[in-house]
Structures are given as C-alpha cells and as structure tokens.
Structure 1
Amino acid sequence: MKLELETIPVWDGVASKSECYVCDLMAEAQKDALSFYLGNSVMNPGTRVKVNESGFCTKHWQLLTAANKPQGIALMTDTYLGMTRTKFEKSINSLLGTKNPRQAKKAIQSLKEDMQKREKGCLVCSAMQQRLDRYLFTTCYLWGEDSAFRSALQEGKGFCLHHFQLLLETAPAVLSGSLLAQFVHDLTQTEVLNLDRIANDVHWMTQKYKSENMDKPWNGCEDAHKRGVDKMTGRHRVIDPV
C-alpha cells in the first residue's frame, strides 16, 4: 500500500531534538482526532454511523467526555447506546432466559463474545494509526533519500523503545539491500548511545539525593526519571485494536 509522505512534520520533529519526535507527532495526531469528534462533525450522519459501529476505546471516550463538550458527546452516546443495545439483544435475552447452569455458561460466553466485538476498535486510535504509519514510512524514506536528514537523525536523541521497534519493522518495506542494513545499524547505534545517556542521567539523579552530593550540580538531570520512563514506554502509543 502506497503511503502519503509527511516530510514537513517529520523534518520538524528531527529538528526539535526531542527524545522521541514520533511521540510528539502522535500527541498532535491524538489532539486532532479528538478535536474532530468534539466539533461539528457529530452533526454529520456519516460520522454518527461510524461512531455507532466502532465507537472509541476507554481512554478516548474518557478524553472526549473530559473536554467539556456535553452536547456533542450526548448525541454520540445516545445513538451509540442504542446500537449497542441492538447488538446485545440476543445475548441479553439468553441471559434473561437462563434456566440451568449449562444455559447460564453459554449465555455468559455469548455476552463475552459480543463485548469483545463491541470493544474492538476505536476511531481515534484508527486515525492515529494512519498518521503513525505515514510518519514511520517517511522517516525511513527520508533517511534513504536525503543525506542531511540521515545526519540529523544520527545526531538526534533517538526514539522511545516502542517507536524504535516500529521503525525497524517498517524499514524493510521502504529500504532494501545495503541501505536497509545501514539504516538498521545506524538507527540502533543512535538508540543505544541515547539509552546510555539517559541511563547515566537517571543514575546521577539517584546519587544526587545522597547527602554527600546535595551541593553538587544536577547537570540537567532534574527530570531524568520522566525521560527514562518516556524512553522505555513511549508517551503516545496506539494500543487499541483497530
């Protein structure tokens, strides 16, 4: 599948010297997707049909409801609940009609399967995933086509481990031969150097709390614990099944 390039945001990301510019871009992708469903789009019948069918994951339902846009959320919830009741009608009737343990277990299993289907997918996660695919593809593409980008990426702070892995998985679809091997080597080298940098920062942070080091400088390590967690886990991951 041919993906549209996102050269400007990816270049901006590299220039930002972020610990993981893909995390930053995904934060913007999430913000944009949430804004779409908090705006006038909810008045569009086509949008409501999509919401009725797919809905949102727990995280994004909560973020939407926390945005203080009650009318739009009420409209979406109204029809979503109606569709949910329709999809669950058979299972609910089976639960109500249970007369023995075997029927009870069968009815419970049926509801479980309906719940799994209903909770699978999220419109915000899907929009984020589409953006993520383009950002990963573009990063690999620019590395192969632009020596300036290659140098900037190598001199950057790497990525969170989650997006580091996804970039490596994306690379074979974009690069081939010696370019692929070089990309894997260079990206890994940059990642390891920056993991070591953060590990050293976190270690110094632990030492800074000792009495003998209280008067010594922080050396920029005041937030090392946050950067360490972000590096390990990623701040904005698409985790809902799409």
Structure 2
Amino acid sequence: MAEQLYTIPVNDAFHADCECPLCQMQKTLEEHAIEYTMGPSYMEDDNRAMTDKMGFCSHHIGMLYKEKNRLGLALMLKTHTDKTIRDLKALSEKGTPAKPGLFSKQSNFSGVGAYIKELESSCFICDRMNRTFDRYVDTIFHMWKKDPEFKDTFKSSKGFCTYHYGILYDTSVTKLSKNQCEEFIEALNHLYFENMERVNGDIGWFIDKFDYRFKNEPWKNSKDALPRGIIKTNHTFVE
C-alpha cells in the first residue's frame, strides 16, 4: 500500500519503540498543538475567538507557560479573561438562582455555575488534539482492512495502554465487518494481555531488586519498568 498523508503518523507511531502506539500519537499531537498555539496562529482572529471561548485545561496551561513565548500567552490570557469577566457579569446580574423544589427537574447549576462548568471542561489544545486523534483511530481500522503490511506491523507492536485498548476494542465493532472484527479483537486481546503481563513482570522484578537477596542479580528489563508501567496504566509519559 502506497503511504498516503493520513497514514504517515499512524505508521510512524506503530514503528516507534513504545508501549502504546496510540499514546505516541497523542504525545506527538500534543507537541504539535502546543507549537501551533504558541506560534503565529494566536494572532489570527478565528483562533483567538476559540481560545477566548474555550481557554485551556490545567495541564495544557502549564505546558504553555513553560514555552518561551510569554507575550503570546499573556495576550491569549488577557482576551480570554476579558470574555470570562464580561460573560459572568451578565449572568450574575440575573439575580440569585432559585432553589429547586424536591421534585423539580431544574438543574442544580445556575447560569453562572453552568458557564463555569462548561469552561472547566473545555480546552483549545485538547479539542484540537481530539479531533485529529479520532481521524487517526479511523485510519487504523482503514489500514487493518486494506494494508496487509500494516496488519503485520500492528501484531508485532508492544501492545497498548488500558485506555486505548478500550477505545480500539469498542470502536472495532462499528468500523469492521463481523469476521474482520473477530480477527482484530483476537489480535488486540493477545497484544494487550501479553504485553501487560510482560510489563507487570518487569515491575515485579524492579520491586524484587530492592530485596537484599537479589542485590547481585541483573536488572534484566526492569530499570525503566515504572515509566513503562505508567504508560500502560495511565496513558501518560513521565520523565
């Protein structure tokens, strides 16, 4: 199969030496989204309108702060807080929210509370990543159906984190035929459990190495067992 543009990041992730190719895709997407957000795009009206409305989650605002473009971040933060102040003032002036009755279907959130809840669940970078990531997942199933070479690459990977194992497991039903889905799930289950057990064993040996009885034994593959285990359990890279 000739490599097309949308298959490149998927192939790159599956050829990387990592514990979860989908985590690798998300890591790359995050790096690109941070770079995009702190680049010239923040001066574009349509992007600024989105950052003004959505803001950033706690995780990504921390990453943005570590970047060199403090002026760019300040400009985005200024217009975002301008909008937040303006919107919340308008909502707060509507008066004290009524207390819902015992059998009332009224939401427990006032206009102010609902606005803040929505704001807390939105992030410009998360949104940008998720929209692209969904297309990557679709590409995995497209390549599974159309590209025998990718199928071999998939089966020779080091498996997946628990979170992305679940995404692939559930999504396969809607993307593949019955026979294709059965083959995919069989391969997916084998990869997930075999590699979770491998990493689990490495963590176990890492623990054993703190026992004086094993002090002189080799570390085997356990020196980096914790960061690899954290990828498997929390779909998170640590340094």
TMscore range, shorter length:
0.7 to 0.9
* 3-state SS in 1 of match to 2:172: helix
What is the identity, as a one-letter code, of the residue corresponding to 2:133? L
What is the letter of the counterpart of residue 8 of structure 1? I
CA contact (8 A) 1:137 1:171 kept: no
The TM-score normalised by the length of structure 2 is 0.86
Unaligned runs of 5+ in 2: 100-106
Mapped to 2, the partners of 1:82 and 1:165 lie a distance apart of: 40
Q: How far apart, CA to CA, are the structure 1 residues paired with 2:207 and 2:171?
A: 36
- Corresponding position: 1:157 with 2:154: no
Q: 1:128-156 deviations in whole A, cap 9, x for unaligned?
A: 10221122111222122222221221121
Aligned to 1:228: 229
Contact 1:22 / 1:163 at 8 angstroms: preserved in 2?
yes
Cα deviation for residue 5 of structure 1 reads 7.1
- 1:207 aligns with 208
- SS of 1:222's partner is coil
Alignment of 1:40-119 (within 5 A): 40-93=40-93, 109-119=110-120
Q: CA RMSD in A?
A: 2.4
Distance 1:41 1:119 in 2: 23
Query: What SS class does the counterpart of residue 68 from structure 1 fall into?
Result: coil
Following TM superposition, where does structure 1 have runs of at least 4 consecutive aligned residues deviating by more than 3 angstroms? 90-94
Other-structure match for 1:9: 9
Q: Which amino acid aligns with 1:17?
A: D
Read off the aligned partner of 1:165 and give its amino acid letter: G
Letter in 1 for 2:164: H
Unaligned residue ranges in structure 1 (runs of 5+): 237-242
Q: Distance in 2 between matches of 1:126 and 1:77?
A: 18
DSSP 3-state at the match of 1:6: helix
Instruction: Return the alpha-carbon distance in structure 2 between the equivalents of residues 118 and 197 of structure 1.
Output: 41
Letter in 2 for 1:89: K
Task: Report the Cα distance in structure 1 between the residues aligned to 2:12 and 2:115, rounded to whole angstroms.
Answer: 43
Distance 1:211 1:232 in 2: 28
1:131 partnered with 2:136: no
Specify the SS of the correspondent of 2:188: helix
Structure 1 CA distance for aligned equivalents of residues 222 and 119 of structure 2? 45
Distance across 1 between alignment mates of 2:9 and 2:39: 24
Residue 217 of structure 2 corresponds to 216
Which whole-Å CA distance do the structure 2 matches of 1:9 and 1:149 have between them? 13
Q: Number of paired residues?
A: 227
Is contact 2:160-2:191 (8 Å) kept?
no
- Asked whether the equivalents of residues 5 and 135 of structure 1 are also in contact (C-alpha less than 8 Å), the reply is no
CA distance in 2, matches of 1:12, 1:133: 17
Instruction: Give yes or no for contact 1:162–1:233 (8 Å, CA) kept in 2.
Output: yes
Corresponding position of 1:24: 24
